[in-house]
Amino acid sequence: MATTASSMAPPSLPFPSAKTRTKSRLGPPPTPPPNATKSPPLSSPVRKDSSASRQSSSTSVSSPSRKSRFQFVADTKAPTELKEFSAQAYKRHTDFRKRVNALDHKVAAWSARFANEVIARDKEMVSFFEYSVADPLERCAERFMRRMEMEFEKLDSPEIDTSFVNDNDGSMEQQDANNDSSTRVNDKELDRGKKQEEIHEELNTSCLPDGPSLSSVSKDTETLRKRLLEFRHVTVPALKSQHFDSLELKVTRELAAKMHVENIKTAKRELAIDKKFEAFAGLTERSLCETNAKRVVELEQLREKINEAGGWDEKRTSNFLEEVRLLRESIAREREERMKNDELVLEKIVESRVKLHKILLESMTTDED
């Protein structure tokens, strides 16, 4: 529209082609006399009307404050709504990604915690078994075997204590040697020495105790062997069945029960963690589906608004094209009418100039006469 208005605007110099044509036909204009007064230029009502119409049309076309008739509602509303919707969609997408990342972090933390609990439980079970079962049994078995080896060593190598008899024999030999020396030295006192020897022999024989006999030693050995066999084949199995077997049964029963209870607790914890994870995953999936549904609905609503505001249907498009065609036809008719009026004005201007030249020539001739 601006291009058509600028093409219809009149030029600054009116019709140079007509001027050149009139100059070539009439020649150079005559110079007026110095005392001649300037006459006002002739003005025709047609020229005034045409200039007024041109000014009004130029002002109406070039005025920027007037709203264009071809401006759509969608040109102002749809882009802002589309930007707002894109910003909201981006914000929702970022919020959704943040929630998904938080869920991933929680799942990773739960899995790490579960793995740490399983490792700690296994360590506690191993340490409890070693501290409560394996170490006491090993220490007890070591003590028992040590004592049994000591007893077997004592019983397998029996030794008779003959130190008392050997001491008495040594003392007697020493006394005999002393007596012999005394008899050799004191020959004069032989009778006295004999008497003393007899007295010493009587004293020694009276002081010597009765030593152990062979029969008593063999009897003691047999009793010890019987006691050893009884201890090995009767006492040890009885003590084992009384203490070790009961302790082993007790440990196995209590340990199995405790392990069963611990397994049940662990299974319950795992089931609770699985339920919480499934519930959280279900809530997340539900929120994701709701967000997607809301996004689809808002997209459809925005699409309908854009179609209503922009008029993308065929009927409104055809009406708009028809209006454009009619406007172009009216502009073409107005342009033809203006060109005709301009030609009439040009002819009148030429006629008035010819008349003016004739009047000037006549006045000049009258002045010369």
For 248-257, write each residue's pLDDT tens digit.
787 777 877 8
106: three-class secondary structure by DSSP: helix
Please tell me the distance from the alpha carbon of residue 242 to that of residue 146, in angstroms, as a whole number.
Answer: 20
Label residue 27 left, alpha or beta by phi (over 0 means left) and psi (-120 to 50 means alpha): left
Please, are residues 183 and 190 in contact by the beta-carbon 8 Å criterion? Answer: yes
In this prediction, residue 181 carries a pLDDT of 53
Please, are residues 96 and 299 in contact by the beta-carbon 8 Å criterion? Answer: no
Please tell me the distance from the alpha carbon of residue 70 to that of residue 231, in angstroms, as a whole number.
Answer: 123
Mean of per-residue pLDDT scores for the chain: 70
In this prediction, residue 188 carries a pLDDT of 55
In this prediction, residue 291 carries a pLDDT of 87
Task: Report the percentage of the chain scoring pLDDT > 90.
Answer: 8
Label residue 29 left, alpha or beta by phi (over 0 means left) and psi (-120 to 50 means alpha): beta
**What average pLDDT score do residues 79-83 get?**
73
Mention every residue, 6+ apart, whose C-beta is less than 8 A from residue 296: none
Q: Looking at this protein, which amino acid is placed at residue 154?
A: K
Q: How is residue 9 annotated by DSSP?
A: S
Please tell me the distance from the alpha carbon of residue 133 to that of residue 144, in angstroms, as a whole number.
Answer: 17
**What average pLDDT score do residues 209-218 get?**
64
332 confidence band (pLDDT: 50, 70, 90): very high
pTM tops 0.85, yes or no:
no
Note the pLDDT tens digit of each residue in 41-78. 444 444 444 444 444 444 444 444 444 444 444 445 55
Residue-range domain boundaries for the chain: 81-182+190-205+215-299, 314-369
Task: Report the percentage of the chain scoring pLDDT > 70.
Answer: 61
In this prediction, residue 34 carries a pLDDT of 45
In this prediction, residue 338 carries a pLDDT of 92
Q: Looking at this protein, which amino acid is placed at residue 148?
A: M
Note the pLDDT tens digit of each residue in 118-162. 888 888 877 877 777 777 777 877 887 787 778 777 766 555 444
Q: How is residue 34 annotated by DSSP?
A: T
Among 176-180, 214-218, 231-235, 344-348, the minimum mean pLDDT is found in 176-180
Residue of 305, 325, 290 lying closest to 73 (CA atoms):
305
| Count of CB atoms situated within 10 Å of the CB of 16 | 9
Give whole-number Cα distances, 164 to 73, 154, 159, 219, 327, in Å.
137, 21, 14, 20, 156
What is the full DSSP assignment across 179-239? HHHHHHH-STTHHHHHHHHHHHHHHHHHHPPPPPPHHHHHHHHHHHHHHHHHIIIIIHHHH
330 confidence band (pLDDT: 50, 70, 90): very high
Question: What is the three-state SS of 307-367?
Answer: HHHHCCCHHHHHHHHHHHHHHHHHHHHHHHHHHHHHHHHHHHHHHHHHHHHHHHHHHHHHH
In this prediction, residue 170 carries a pLDDT of 52
In this prediction, residue 369 carries a pLDDT of 67
